[in-house]
């Protein structure tokens, strides 16, 4: 996987759906409530993250190395290339949020899950800001937006790993 995909996608998608660590076992109350078990839920979410990862990789194909994209002296040409890609990344984030919201989480984690999903919207907004700043040739605004995109993507991968996610927790 390319450095941008590994750094941005893994952290991005992982953090985008981050949950604080919860119990290690499937709880009978989850099954009794007609909700998926923890392992079923993780499998469903990780499947969606796999699909999003494939779309993300396709969106960033052909971009310069990650280090060049976020360099303090990033070229206007590189910024324009990123500007063309950024709306696709925003769409991946938005689609993943929609798809993950359609899942029914195990009982008891809904408020945490909702907060976690909000990071996807924040990443989509940051990707749109990256595109706008790049199109305007505003290096400072571009780098700030990229920093926000990256921070949103790296907030919670450890928590996801602690909860048991595999694909969504790649960082």
pLDDT tens digits, 17-32: 444 444 444 455 545 4
At 22, list the tokens. 């919860």
What pLDDT was estimated at residue 29?
A: 53
Could you tell me if 39 and 166 are in contact, meaning their C-beta atoms sit under 8 angstroms apart? no
Q: Which residue reads 């960033």 in tokens?
A: 60
- Alpha helix (H) residue ranges in 18-75: 28-32, 38-60, 66-69
Q: State the burial class of residue 3 (Cβ atoms within 10 Å of its Cβ: 0-12, 13-18, 19+).
A: exposed
Q: Residue 6: is its pLDDT beyond 70?
A: no
Measured CA to CA, the distance from residue 124 to residue 134 in angstroms comes to 15
Q: Residue 12: is its pLDDT beyond 50?
A: no
3-class SS string, 67-118:
HHHCCCCCCHHHHHHHHHHHHHHHHHHHHHHHHHHCCCCCCCCHHHHHHHHH
The pLDDT tens digits for 67-107 are 999 999 999 999 999 999 999 999 998 898 899 889 988 88
Q: Which residue has the higher pLDDT, 8 or 60?
A: 60
What pLDDT was estimated at residue 158?
A: 58
At 19, list the tokens. 């949950």
Report the pLDDT averaged over residues 104-125.
Answer: 79
pTM of the model: 0.75
Report the pLDDT averaged over residues 128-149.
Answer: 95
Measured CA to CA, the distance from residue 60 to residue 45 in angstroms comes to 22
Report the pLDDT averaged over residues 136-145.
Answer: 96
């Amino acid at each position: 996987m390319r450095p941008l995909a590994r750094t941005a996608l893994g952290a991005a998608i992982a953090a985008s759906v981050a949950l604080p660590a919860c119990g290690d076992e499937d709880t009978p109350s989850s099954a009794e409530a007609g909700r998926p078990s923890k392992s079923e839920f993780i499998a469903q979410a990780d499947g969606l993250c796999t699909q999003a990862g494939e779309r993300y990789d396709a969106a960033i194909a052909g971009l310069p190395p990650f280090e060049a994209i976020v360099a303090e002296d990033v070229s206007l040409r590189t910024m324009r290339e990123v500007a063309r890609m950024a709306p696709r990344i925003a769409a991946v984030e938005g689609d993943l949020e929609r798809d993950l919201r359609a899942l029914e989480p195990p009982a008891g984690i809904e408020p945490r899950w909702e907060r976690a999903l909000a990071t996807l919207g924040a990443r989509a907004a940051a990707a749109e800001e990256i595109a706008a700043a790049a199109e305007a040739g505003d290096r400072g605004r571009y780098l700030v937006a990229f920093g926000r995109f990256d921070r949103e993507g790296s907030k919670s991968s450890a928590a996801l790993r602690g909860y048991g996610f595999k694909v969504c927790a790649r960082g």
